[in-house]
């Protein structure tokens, strides 16, 4: 599999994605160091919990990396348009290029993107037809990791027995309460924000519409028959195999083949 990376040059986007990466780092290294691993060593938590925590963390990082570095579906400069499909294309009045209908011009990236959902500064990339599935996985695994972290913070405070082999002079032991509060605050923020976003994304997919179209009331004008939910989700995730909807280590394949172009970065 040939890996092509796509980077958007936008200092504001770099700042936002650094914040997201910092939160991931705090959850993935500091909380296990402070709570998970010491309690595992003293037999208060099982191997399964530790494995589950690291799996959620790894899937979160892969989804973040791939969502931010995958071409969202930029329209090529001189696309070959079959004569029979001409009525499915339109001219973009910002870059003066032909694009398939339901594309949108992203002013941040300076390109037209097929079925663009929105531009997300938190991944410093557009969310379009080719990386929408990775964005959804990122939302999902961020919720799982945040929930895990919140549960560990809660158990550390109310449930776990005190650790017997801990150095009370260590920085993390002396400031444990403050560090747990920071983690709880970030966990609540991430879980709350991601749940709201995930809900709007799922309702959008069920209605077979993008965030931009929803905001411009595009659906009011669209008179297409409603597709079954399995079909709309399969089109977004690029496969009918439901188990693969959860895996970020794979290639996306277009199921709506009419207006798809291979990656051209």
Active site residues: 120
Binding letters toward Zn ion, positions 87-126, x by CB under 5 A = -----x-xx---------xx-xx--x------x------x
User: DSSP labels for 216-229?
Assistant: TTHHHH--PPPPPH
In whole angstroms, give the CA distance from residue 56 to residue 64: 12
The residue among 6 and 105 lying less far from Zn ion, judged by its C-beta, is 105
How far apart CA 37 and CA 214 sit, in angstroms, is 45
Kindly state the smallest distance separating residue 97's Cβ from Zn ion, in Å: 6
Total residues interacting with Zn ion, rule: CB under 5 A: 10
b/e map of 123-145 (b: 16 or more CB within 10 Å)?
bbbbbbbbbbbbbbbbbbbbbbb
Minimum distance from residue 99 beta carbon to Zn ion (Å): 6
Smallest distance, Å, CB 104 to Zn ion?
8
| Phi-psi map region of 73: left, alpha, beta (phi>0 left; psi -120 to 50 alpha) | left
Min separation Cβ 103 and Zn ion, Å: 8
- Cβ partners under 8 Å of residue 129, min gap 6: 72, 73, 113, 114, 115, 116, 254, 256, 260
Closer of 75 and 180 to Zn ion (Cβ): 75
Q: Which is nearer to Zn ion, 39 or 74 (CB)?
A: 74
Residues 38-97 that bind Zn ion (CB under 5 A): 92, 94-95
- CB of 45 or CB of 197, closer to Zn ion: 197
Residue 182 DSSP SS3: helix
**Binding residues for Zn ion (CB under 5 A):** 92, 94-95, 105-106, 108-109, 112, 119, 126
């Amino acid at each position: 599999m040939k890996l092509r990376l796509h980077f958007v040059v936008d200092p504001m986007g770099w700042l936002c994605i650094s914040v997201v990466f910092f939160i991931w780092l705090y959850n993935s290294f500091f909380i296990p160091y402070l709570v998970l691993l010491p309690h595992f060593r003293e037999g208060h938590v099982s191997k399964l919990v530790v494995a589950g925590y690291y799996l959620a963390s790894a899937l979160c990082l892969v989804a973040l990396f791939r969502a931010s570095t995958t071409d969202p579906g930029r329209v090529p400069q001189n696309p070959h348009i079959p004569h029979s499909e001409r009525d499915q294309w339109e001219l973009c009045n910002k870059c003066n290029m032909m694009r398939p209908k339901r594309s949108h011009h992203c002013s941040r990236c300076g390109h037209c993107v097929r079925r663009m959902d929105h531009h997300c500064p938190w991944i410093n990339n557009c969310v379009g037809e080719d990386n929408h599935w990775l964005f959804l996985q990122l939302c999902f695994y961020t919720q799982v990791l945040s929930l895990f972290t919140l549960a560990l913070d809660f158990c550390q405070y109310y449930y776990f027995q005190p650790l017997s082999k801990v150095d009370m002079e260590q920085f993390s032991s002396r400031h444990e309460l403050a560090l747990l509060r920071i983690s709880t605050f970030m966990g609540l923020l991430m879980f709350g924000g991601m749940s709201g976003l995930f809900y709007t994304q799922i309702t959008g997919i069920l209605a077979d519409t993008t965030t931009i179209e929803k905001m411009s009331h595009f659906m009011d004008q669209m008179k297409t028959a409603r597709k079954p939910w399995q079909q709309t989700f399969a089109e977004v995730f690029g496969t009918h195999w439901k188990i693969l909807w959860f895996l970020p280590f794979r290639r996306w394949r277009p199921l709506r083949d009419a207006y798809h172009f291979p990656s051209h970065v």
